[in-house]
Amino acid sequence: MSVNVRVPTQLRPLTGGAGEVTVEGSTVGEVLKALESAHPGFADRIFDADGGLRRFVNVFLADEDVRFLDGLGTPVVDGQTLSIVPAVAGG
C-alpha cells in the first residue's frame, strides 16, 4: 500500500525539505519503518527505546489519533494519509 506521510516542519530536513512523502506499508508501524528506511533519522525522533511511539509525538491516520485505534498495528489502505504531529506545550 502506498501511504502519504505528512512531515512536520522540524523534521523536513530529513526529507530534503519535502512536507509530504510516499512510502509503502500495510500498518502504521510498517509505514513509519519504511519512512526511516527511505529517510534515515526518523526512528530516533518517533520511536522510544521500547519501539513504541514517543509520548510527545502524535500520529494521525485520516484525522484519527492512532493511539485510539490499534497503535502501530493500525491497518492502512492505499492512498491514505498519515500525519506526524509533534505535541505542542505552552504556558
pLDDT value for 37: 97
For 7-39, how does the pLDDT look when each residue is reduced to its tens digit (9 = 90+)?
999 999 999 999 999 999 999 999 999 999 999
Burial of 31-44, coded b for 16+ CB within 10 Å and e otherwise, reads bbbbbbeebeebee
pTM over 0.85, yes/no: yes
Taken in order of first residue, the domains within the chain and their CATH numbers are 2-86 (3.10.20.30)
Q: What is the pLDDT of residues 31-63, one digit of tens each?
A: 999 999 999 999 999 999 999 999 899 999 998
Helix intervals (H) in 5-58: 28-38, 42-46
Mean pLDDT for all residues in the chain: 93
